Structure 1
Amino acid sequence: MDLTSITPDVAGLKALSHPTRLRMLGLLRIDGPATATSLATRLGINTGQTSYHLRQLADHGFVVDDEERGNGRERWWKAAHQSTLANTVPRKPEDQDAMDAYIQTVAVIYTQQLQAAVEEMPLLPTEWRDASTLSDYHVRVTAKHAEALTTKMHELFMELREDDEDDPDAVDFVFQFQAFPRPGHVSGPAGQVGGEES
């Protein structure tokens, strides 16, 4: 399957910086089209809030009407793209706040997913516990080498062959991939390291 993607502008990043919107978009991408009512139930919020967030996502091109569903009374929504590509280095310095807010929201969502997986781990069959891991690898590299490594990892996941949908042993499996300098060990433009002057 060819993956379609969207690279949002600053206004789009601001729209995605709301955790509920980012979770909603994720649900539509992974689980498929849904109504505001069904999304509200899954997210634990009211339908009015869900409809508002869906309109915000639609205004920025993240979701569209699913015209193949619905009966006039129910409006179905679907994701317009399968992934979001965000350049972590804004083109303009004044856009940094929008990028920072978006990345912070992504981190919150990933943390919530990880916590939910850890809480569910004791309930999993042994083979799925054995297939899961919480690992980190600390290596000493240059920024150029680190970028090359993360690029290789992205390519690996993009080329990943999914198991057949009809395979009864196959389930949705999440790989979370984060790569970053060890906090407190790289000086920023103002000479700060980990919030302290170096």
Structure 2
Amino acid sequence: MPSSITPDIAGLRALSHPVRLKMLALLRAEGPATATTLAQRLDLNTGATSYHLRQLAQHGFIVEDTDRGNARDRWWRAAHQSTRTAFREEGVVDTDVEAYLSTVAMLYADRTRAAVAEMAFLPEEWRRVGTLSDWEVRLTPAQAEALVQKLAEVIGDAEDSEAGEAAPFTINLNAYPRPGQRWDES
């Protein structure tokens, strides 16, 4: 599976729908599934689920898993491990990119709330390894870009473990200028 996709504006527009983003996340995290399976997981009807799967496939986010199922039972799998946005290179955050990023932020917040709610039920060794921390530092745009690239490299270099105690471990990297900053002040 290629590691990432950088969708065009039409692809970002398609991913701006929360159901599609949830479907893609499920297919990435849990592997191939049918429309029926996803409909049950997301509490949707299969017709709506099939429609959203077709939209994801049209933009190259998912592909049919031809190794599974039959003519009646179509299986789908994620085509990439991650989605990246190219708004930095374009120099503009337009409304389609903003809509996509708002949906991503909403789903990250939902996942973080779920993780906090489940913390008390984790084995002790897993309760100690996570963090919900924040730092605020003063950086130039070049320093901020270098920092984000370095953090992404560290995360990208982490190797999957096959050890018995290994489990999926979610890392969200959120880095941005502090909201509410007045840019006309020196």
Q: Tell me which interval the TM-score lies in, with the shorter structure as reference length.
A: over 0.9
Unpaired segments of 5 or more residues in structure 2?
none
1:66 is matched with which residue?
A: 65
CA distance in 2, matches of 1:20, 1:112: 13
In the alignment, is the contact (CA less than 8 A) between 1:90 and 1:96 conserved in 2?
Answer: no
Q: 1:132 aligns with which of 130, 133, 144?
A: 130
SS in 1 for 2:70: coil
Displacement of 1:81 in angstroms is 1.5
CA distance in 1, matches of 2:116, 2:13: 30
1:57 is matched with which residue?
A: 56
2:154 is matched with which residue?
A: 156
SS in 1 for 2:115: helix
Displacement of 1:3 in angstroms is 4.5
SS in 1 for 2:87: coil
- 2:136 pairs with 1:116: no
- 2:112 pairs with 1:107: no
- 2:172 pairs with 1:173: no
What is the letter of the counterpart of residue 32 of structure 1?
A: G
CA distance in 2, matches of 1:153, 1:3: 21
1:182 is matched with which residue?
A: 178
SS in 2 for 1:153: helix
- Sequence identity, in percent? 52
Superposed CA offset, 1:44-80 (max 9, x none): 1111111010001111111111100002220000111
CA distance in 1, matches of 2:2, 2:182: 34
What is the letter of the counterpart of residue 126 of structure 1?
A: E
Unpaired segments of 5 or more residues in structure 1?
194-198
Q: How much is the aligned-residue C-alpha RMSD, in angstroms?
A: 1.8
Displacement of 1:91 in angstroms is 3.3
- For these two proteins, the number of residue pairs brought into alignment is 185
CA distance in 2, matches of 1:133, 1:80: 30
